[in-house]
Amino acid sequence: MRFRLLGPLTVDGSAHPLRLDGKRPRAVLAFLLMETGALLRVEQIIDAVWGESPPRTVRTQVHAQISVVRRWLRGLPDVRIVTHATGYALKVDPSDIDVGVFRRLARQGRTLAGTGQPVAAAEAYRAALQLHVGPPLGDIDAPFARATAARLADERLSVLSDLMSLDLAAGRHHELIPVLSTLVERHPLHEPLWCHLLVALHRAGRRGEAIGCYHRARLLLREELGVEPGPELSGTYRSLLAADPVAAGGADLTRTLSRLAEAERMLGEIRQQLSRLGIDAPTARSVSPTAPPASLLSSDDGAGHEEVAA
């Protein structure tokens, strides 16, 4: 690959990376690479690189930056910028651009996974992910770069999520738990990663933690986006409950109430000792280990929640 955008912009010449100086020409080249093969009108380039408040001389500057980019690309075979009456088009083989290779590998992985070849699919996904060496377009300062970088980051997360699915299917839930825990911290609004974490915890016998993770994700989505979990995350949660409703819905509560009952027994013994010494001790409300408090039953985290009750 000659052109790399999944990290800092680099162009490999015949023997070494080319030196690319200047904020504007770098941004122009990055935009051309992301839209390779398409005819880009001068107005599109202006909006992408200069934004909403370009200088009066911006059209002249576009032509000047294109000339700089042409000098950079001179000597690279089968790479050229074609001039049209209304704009420019970069002609380059998509396999020379890491973004194009990433997308091809991602499609290949999904095709292999869909035809029952999980090992080969995982290899394709891992090869795609290795192309990301840093934040996409990480050193490009231009209006188009922010939205484009976010889209490329989302594509990476989608491939990573697909790879996690294959690894879970292969029984690697124990080793995935710390990886997924880190990923949801970095990408707290990415629901498929939460789904994988719930599944991994459930399969590892850590159902209480899986329940807690769901409610944590649900709270984050409410607070940040004002929405409830989508069908995939909600469905994963309901499947978890249906797989072992007693353990999922009541194991943690039962353990808590058992501990409270034990604490009450110990407090009773202490009161008896104080009474023998002639010391008055305050009484505490008795807690029944078989009857959960009404406040817990009516909270979002207790059995009163419609999804827990279901």
User: Quick one: pLDDT band at residue 278, thresholds 50, 70, 90?
Assistant: low
14 or 74, greater pLDDT: 74
Share of the chain above pLDDT 90, in %: 70
For residue 214, is pLDDT > 60?
yes
Whether the pLDDT of residue 66 is over 60: the answer is yes
- Closest C-alpha to 5, from 156, 183, 157, 186: 156
Whole-number average pLDDT of the chain:
83
- Tens digit of each residue's pLDDT (9 = 90 or more) over 168-192: 999 999 999 999 999 999 999 999 9
Residue, of 215 and 295, whose pLDDT is higher: 215
Is the Cβ–Cβ distance between 226 and 218 less than 8 Å? no
pLDDT of amino acid 274: 66
- C-beta separation of 17 from 69 below 8 A: no
Q: Cα separation of 213 and 115, whole Å?
A: 32
Check if the beta carbon of residue 136 is closer than 8 Å to that of residue 40.
Answer: no
Quote the pLDDT of residue 17.
Answer: 75
Alpha carbon separation from 174 to 204, 215, 296 (Å, rounded): 6, 21, 31
Measure the CA–CA gap between 255 and 234, rounded to whole angstroms: 25
226/265 Cα distance (integer angstroms): 44
Mean pLDDT of 125-147: 95
pTM of the model: 0.74
CATH of domain 172-243: 1.25.40.10
CB 27 within 8 A of CB 139: no
Indicate the DSSP class of residue 55.
Answer: -
> Using one digit for the tens of pLDDT, what is the confidence trace for 196-211?
999 999 999 999 999 9
What distance, in Å, lies between the first and last C-alpha atoms of the chain?
Answer: 53
Mind listing the pLDDT tens digit for each residue in 68-120? 999 999 888 889 999 999 999 999 999 999 999 999 999 999 999 999 999 99
Look up residue 13 and give its two tokens: 């010449």
Q: Quote the crossing angle between the two packed helices 207-225 and 245-276, to the nearest 10°.
A: 100
Query: What does the pLDDT look like over 256-266, one tens digit per residue?
Result: 444 555 555 56
pLDDT tens digits, residue range 282-304? 443 333 333 333 332 222 333 33
The DSSP call for residue 19 is P
Contact 99, 34 (CB under 8 A): yes
Q: Where in the chain is the domain with CATH 1.10.10.10?
A: 3-96
Q: What pLDDT was estimated at residue 157?
A: 95
Three-state DSSP at 89 gives strand
Q: Which residue has the tokens 């023998």?
A: 276
Query: Residue 125 pLDDT > 80, yes or no?
Result: yes
Question: Which token pair is 269?
Answer: 């013994």
pLDDT at res. 75: 82
Which pLDDT value is given to residue 116? 94
Average pLDDT over residues 31-60: 95
How many whole angstroms from its chain centre is CA 124? 19
Task: Tell me where in the chain the CATH 1.25.40.10 domain(s) lie.
Answer: 172-243
For residues 226 and 293, the model is more confident at 226
pLDDT at res. 271: 66
- Tokens found for residue 110: 């999904």
- pLDDT in the model for residue 32: 97
Predicted pLDDT of residue 305:
27
The fold for domain 3-96 equals Arc Repressor Mutant, subunit A (1.10.10)
Q: How many whole angstroms separate alpha carbon 214 and alpha carbon 208?
A: 10
